[in-house]
Amino acid sequence: MTTHVLRIDASVRRDGSVSRRLTDRIVARLAPETVTHRDLATPLPLLDEAWIGANFTPADQRDDSQRATLALSDTLVSELKAADTLVIGLPIYNFGVPAAFKAWIDMVARAGVTFRYTEDGPEGLLPGKRAVVAVASGGTQTGSEIDFATGYVRHMLGFIGITDVTFVSADRLALDAEATLAAAEAEVDRLAA
């Protein structure tokens, strides 16, 4: 049962966005008790030298400036940890994920916080969560050789321990938007709450 959803909308379009329309429908279908919404149309800062320096300084040795530098990242990680389900609205831009979504990934994929390295390779530290990703694309077919978005998302979520990932695709909207959207909405309606 879904109790707490972290909804992440990566479309820069607030109005008329297919991925937002699908995330609305998914959240309604899951009917969680709590929804935390992270709208990436208000962009996150990109990583810089100060962020890297702060992140790789042991937590107990960080100064006030470094703690302030990591404050947004810490908030994003807390949102992620609190949720049992992620609902991600993901348009495909130029065959990949939007820059704003990549910035979110960069802020939450932190060694020792959301993953760790072991003798057997990396281990995600956020197991037991579910992700439902609503993909919207004008011409890129999900799972095709030119889709560099969904494989990346599956890999990065798995990297931090989230391996239960479902994609709902409204892809190739430029060919037949009405039929594509209807098929995606039917997929949402079949999701287990």
Q: Is 35 one of the annotated binding-site residues?
A: no
* Strand residues in the chain grouped as ranges (E): 4-9, 34-39, 85-91, 115-118, 121-124, 130-136, 164-170
Q: Is 11 one of the annotated binding-site residues?
A: yes
In one-letter notation, the amino acid at residue 34 is T
Mark 82-111 as b/e (b = at least 16 C-beta within 10 Å).
Answer: ebebbbbbbbbbeebbbbbbbbbbbbbbbe
CB 23 within 8 A of CB 7: yes
Q: Is 137 one of the annotated binding-site residues?
A: no
Q: Is 19 one of the annotated binding-site residues?
A: yes
Compute, in degrees rounded to 10, the torsion defined by CA atoms 38, 17, 14, 44: 40
How is residue 120 written in tokens?
A: 């057997």
Which residues make Cβ contacts (< 8 Å) with residue 93, sequence separation at least 6? 99
Binding-site entries for FMN: 11, 17-19
Binding-site entries: 11, 17-19
